[in-house]
Amino acid sequence: MKRLWACVVILVLLITICTYGTVETKKVSEQMAQTIESARQAAQAGDLEKAQKLSEKAADDWHNYHEVLCTFMPHAQLEAIDQTLSGLPMLCYFEGMDQFGADCDRGITQIMYLNEAQLPTLENIF
Amino acid sequence: MNKPQQEEHTICGDKKMTISFIRTLLLYTIIILAVRLMGKRQISELQTSELVVTLLISDIAAIPMQDTGQPLASGFIPIAVLVMCEIVVSALMLKSTKFRKIICGRPIIVINDGKVDQKEMRRLRMSTEDLSEQLRQKNVFSFEDVAYAIVETNGKMSVIKKPDKEQPTAGMLGVALPDTGLETVVISDGVISDFSLQLCNKGREWLEGVLRGKNISADQIFIMTANRKGDFNIIKKDAKQ
């Protein structure tokens, strides 16, 4: 009977951890995608200073989220996003706008992929 | 526009080794806890479901141990799920015979009343060599001696010999043997075990009396065994060289 109670505790813990992981990833990915999108729009509108600030903010935010996300996500996926976001402020500073736009899109895609990979959909399960 | 600051990154291979070291310790602890939680049956008699769980756990645990790029949770979560499933399945097997049959199958009689059941052997994909090997492991060296041979659900074979081939017991011969009860190790490497003393219905007073009688102290003893009847056997420690 004690083992069955241990089983119930494990089940509750697992549900909590898995739900937290999914919700946290969704929240982080939406916030990050929004910030990068704003940076891209600012760059398109010619406001490079704002674009640089937003891309710096995106890189800083990502570093903060990274600590939490790396406890339950494969590190290779997170590092790929890290590399994309780290280059954005520099691209903005040196006015490499084509490259900046392309890297913003890449960053958004990578972040959205991160979210999609966490969802318990049929595609992901099978 | 201010030039953004470049971040400093250091890559250190040694850190990965330390991570592997710590992760291995953590996973070792988790696996021991998992096996304890699944129960003692897991160690000695592996049923189908238990074998599957044991194989999977060992495989899953190896991934985050070797690949530091994988989060530790990728090892913990599947192990926890497997432990949970194993406990639930074993509880259900205890409650329902039908469920137990589905998961473990049923014992199969390969020698029935002295006759080898070839159909059942084919069903088990068991060769005659396998059968004689398993019989030999049970100290049976001729098919003639066997009345029944049953392949249990855990794959082990139970053998019942023909009555005329069985070794006679004391009861059959009408010999009365004294019941000495369980023999336990009451002193191991100089350490007295109160639990073992309890098992053979003895106390510290009895032990101290015996030691006094033999003019020896507990720390001079390597092994001392005793039984309920009060028989004991002492093996002293070797003299230090």
Best A1, A2, A3, A95 residue to mutate vs chain B (most B CBs within 10 Å): A3
Phi-psi region of A6 (alpha: psi -120 to 50; beta: other; left: phi over 0): alpha
Residue B199, min C-alpha distance to chain A (Å)? 26
The one-letter amino acid code at A30 reads E
A82: Cβ contacts below 8 Å, ≥ 6 apart? A62, A63, A66
CA atoms within 13 A on the CB side of A48: 15
Q: Which domains does chain A have, with CATH numbers?
A: 20-117 (1.20.120)
DSSP H helices, chain A, are: 2-44, 48-69, 75-93, 97-118, 122-125
A6/B71 touch (CB, cutoff 8 Å), yes or no: no
* Average pLDDT value for residue range A37-51: 87
A125, B26, B162 from B20: Cα distances, Å: 28, 10, 57
Strand order in the sheet with B184-188: B191-192, B184-188, B221-226, B232-236
Q: In B, which residues are within 8 Å of A125 by CB distance?
A: none
Task: For residue A2, count other CB atoms closer than 10 A to its CB.
Answer: 7
Separation between Cα atoms, residue A111 and residue B76, nearest integer Å: 25
Average pLDDT, chain A: 87
DSSP helix/strand/coil, B188: strand
Q: In B, which residues are within 8 Å of A92 by CB distance?
A: 1, 4
Of B1, B71, B84, the CB nearest to A71: B71
Phi, psi at B223, each rounded to 5°: -140, 135
Q: In B, which residues are within 8 Å of A6 by CB distance?
A: 37, 87
Please state the pTM of the whole predicted model.
0.71
B6, B52, B91 from B38: Cα distances, Å: 52, 13, 11
Residue B32 near chain A (CB below 8 Å): no
pLDDT in tens, chain B (241 residues): 666 665 555 555 566 788 888 888 998 998 888 888 887 655 556 777 788 888 898 888 888 888 888 888 888 899 999 999 988 988 898 889 899 888 888 899 999 999 999 999 999 999 999 999 999 999 999 999 999 999 998 888 999 999 888 888 888 888 888 787 888 999 999 999 999 999 888 899 999 999 999 999 999 999 999 998 888 999 998 876 5
B17: Cβ contacts below 8 Å, ≥ 6 apart? none
CB pairs under 8 A between A and B: 57
Best B79, B87, B92, B93 residue to mutate vs chain A (most A CBs within 10 Å): B87
pLDDT value, residue B181: 80
